[in-house]
Structure 1
Amino acid sequence: MPKKVIITCAVTGGLHTPTMSPYLPITPDEIAEAAIGAAKAGAAIIHLHARDPESGRPKQDPDLFLQFLPRIKQATGAVLNITTGGGLGMTLEERLRPAHRAKPEVCSLNMGTMNFCAFELAGKYDSWKHDWEKPYLESTRDLIYANTYAMLETIMVEVGQAHGTRFEFECFDLSHLEAVRYFAAKGLIKPPFLIQGIFGVMGGMGATIENLIHFHGVAQRLFGSDMEFSAFAVGRRQMHFLTVAAILGGSVRVGLEDSVYIGRGELATSNAQQVQKIRRIVEELGLEVASPDEARARLSLKGGDRVDF
């Protein structure tokens, strides 16, 4: 039987800005409500960032995370996944503060240094809600998003081994798969590996189905049955990519972090709306959606009773 599809929902992220959508969750209350709605719609994993409640700027303040993490945990059985990527330009120490405080079941882990470009978005809007938004996006023209091997090892040891946290390995390139393989061979990480292929970010793999199929084949060759495969594309090709990922036997990720749209030119009014759409597609393909506890078993997670929130 095909594996059940694990739906992850990334509810706010650190790239889209408030001007891009009035539905982007900003405050802790909005993030909690968005996450709870996504979980009720069928997301087994909720991927979480925090933002400054006044400006909407990405912010890795553990106190902000602790305003929504317990509420989501109490209202849902979902696996809560905390970013270690944070926002553009943050130091590693800043990026890891929420993970050290909360000790979650899962953290995201970007597997390589790269150009992470969003400067083209800065030219798409004539006016901005906040004065930080346009410079923030324009800065990516000359910004290196650092995830060196030394940084990756630090995260694996200080978050993974110290807290019993497992990782969503975010792979924007084939070389990032090789990084996962390297650290697995060193014994710093152990299977099953949640491999998340990310397509369409300028500076990473392009959002073509040919790239997705090739990436899946390389990941399958490197990790075989040790892998839980998932993939998504940012922007307008989101649902197209997720459908193919599910057909390939993988899992999927939706959310306003990845696309603020639900269809051509139509803003998504909630994260739950995107979860509902991909769940409908998955089920119409004859596949089943995994529950949070089924996701925990597949990913060998420590359980929600062993987190610090």
Structure 2
Amino acid sequence: MTDEIIITCAVTGSIHTPTMSPYLPVTADEIAAEALAAAKAGASILHLHARDPENGRPSAKPEHFMAFLPVIKQRSDAVVNISTGGSAVMSLDERLAAPIAAEPEMCSLNMGTMNFALYPLASRHSDWKHDWEKPFLEGSDDLVFKNTPRDIAHVLTRLGRERGARFEFECYDVGHLYMLRHFADRGAIEPPFFIQFVFGVLGGIGADPENLQHMKRMADKLFGDDYMFSVLAAGRQQIPFATMAAAMGGHVRVGLEDSLFIGKGELAQSNAEQVEKIREIVERLGRTVATPADARHMLGLKGAERTRF
């Protein structure tokens, strides 16, 4: 267990839609401002998606990313982590277009194909800002996020081997840990592995404390001292699970991608608000919040100067 704790902030994501919260950042200016405020509040890693500024739809277009990436780099030393997950409705080539162009220090990588069911969210609203939102959510009852071993190997080659990125390995279930071990055994990745345990997405492992303990036990068995773990939980379990992770020696992820709320029935008004809340908790637990420089050292990152934005 290290005293230093990395706080990741996932700023906007591709799950929530604009109707769900007026505070969800959509435009490039909003995403940049939210990211910078989260970094100032204590997030050393910024996990970033893009959106179409006209309608808030998740976007993988490089031009949408490039509208905010340089601003974040110029005004902050936070580690930029670009999603390779994009949205489950995108092809792999679409999902990789922006990170290949930007060559960030970090990318996220989902370690398996899975059901990604968002349709329960559709019943929570009746008046929609955009006509794409409700069909997008309802259609997820027949939606599979595809990330086969061939896809994973392709990502590791194009972004890891060829462009020097390190990864936030997103593991939504125990089988994803074994897939990660498989690629380690193939020599496709090297430690230290930064593993993000993901709980509470319908299609993945549930947000039960026993599951967090089990994922940690299995990661210990499979990776020994070669990994660090972080935890995110969707929705109302965000802060409770982050608190448990911090107490167990892990790292944490918060942000409006994972939860729109700051308390029961209370919308978070910013990403920074969530970062500030978990920062206070982890510091009261005796942990020291890692700076971006600390995170780069802990994860073996290539440095912001070797990115292309």
Question: Does residue 248 in structure 1 map to residue 265 in structure 2?
Answer: no
* Paired residue secondary structure (1:213): helix
Q: Which residue of 2 aligns with 1:108?
A: 108
Give the TM-score normalised by the residue count of structure 1. Answer: 0.99
Deviation by residue 1:168-188 (Cα, 9 ceiling, x = unmatched): 000000000001100011011
> Partner of 1:149 in structure 2?
149
Task: Note if 1:140 corresponds to 2:118.
Answer: no
What secondary structure sits across from 1:74 in the alignment? helix
1:233-292 CA-partner distances (Å, limit 9, x unpaired): 000111000000001100000000000000000000000000000000001111111000
Assess if the C-alpha contact under 8 Å between 2:232 and 2:241 holds in 1.
Answer: yes
Q: Which moved more, 1:223-232 or 1:95-104?
A: 223-232
Separation (CA, whole Å) in 2 of partners of 1:256 and 1:94: 23
**Dislocated runs of 4+, deviation >6 Å:** none
- Pair 1:18-2:15 in alignment: no
The one-character-per-residue Cα deviations of 1:193-222 (angstroms, maximum 9, x if unpaired) are: 000000000000000111001101111111
Task: Give how far 1:2 is off.
Answer: 3.2
Residue matched to 1:181 = 181
CA distance in 2, matches of 1:33, 1:129: 22
State the one-letter code of the partner of 1:214.
Answer: H
Which residue of structure 1 aligns with residue 202 of structure 2? 202
Distance 1:112 1:147 in 2: 5
Query: In 1, are the aligned partners of 2:61 and 2:98 still within 8 Å (CA)?
Result: yes
Gaps in structure 1 of 5+ consecutive residues:
none
- Give the residue type in structure 2 aligned to 1:292: P
Shift of 1:64: 1.1
Corresponding residue for 1:162?
A: 162
Instruction: Report the 3-state secondary structure (helix = DSSP H, G, I; strand = E; otherwise coil) of the residue aligned with 1:168.
Output: strand
1:47 corresponds to 2:47: yes
Q: Match for 2:74: what amino acid? A: Q
Give the structure 2 partner of residue 211 of structure 1: 211
Please state whether the residue corresponding to 2:224 is helix, strand or coil.
Answer: helix
What is the CA-CA distance between 1:139 and the residue it aligns to?
A: 1.1
Q: Return the letter of the residue paired with 1:123.
A: S
Structure 1 residues 1-309: aligned runs within 5 Å:
2-309=2-309
Post-superposition CA distance 1:13-47 (Å, at most 9, x none):
00100000000000000000000000000000000
Amino acid at match of 1:55: N
Shift of 1:3: 3.0
Q: Distance in 2 between matches of 1:305 and 1:152?
A: 26
Equivalent-residue separation in structure 2 for 1:113 and 1:231 (angstroms): 20
**Alpha-carbon offset, residue 231 of structure 1:** 0.7
CA-to-aligned-CA distance 1:47-70 (integer Å, 9 cap, x gap): 000000010000001011111111
Structure 1 counterpart of 2:119, one-letter code: F
1:120-179 Cα shifts (integer Å, max 9, x gaps):
111111111000001101111011110100000000011111100111000000000001
TM-score normalised to the size of structure 2? Answer: 0.99
Are the counterparts in 1 of residues 88 and 144 from structure 2 also a CA contact under 8 Å? no
Residue 88 of structure 1: how far off its partner (Å): 2.3
Cα distance in 2 for partners of 1:160, 1:2 equals 26
SS at match of 1:163: coil
SS at match of 2:35: helix
Is contact 2:121–2:137 with CA below 8 Å preserved after alignment? yes
Percent identity reads 58
Report how many aligned residue pairs link the two structures: 309
Hey, what's the Cα distance between the residues in 1 that align with 2:23 and 2:173? 30
Q: Distance in 1 between matches of 2:220 and 2:38?
A: 29
Measure the CA separation in 2 of the matches of 1:2 and 1:307.
Answer: 28
Measure, in 2, the Cα distance between the counterparts of 1:232 and 1:85: 16
Cα distance between partner residues in 2 of 1:232 and 1:3: 19
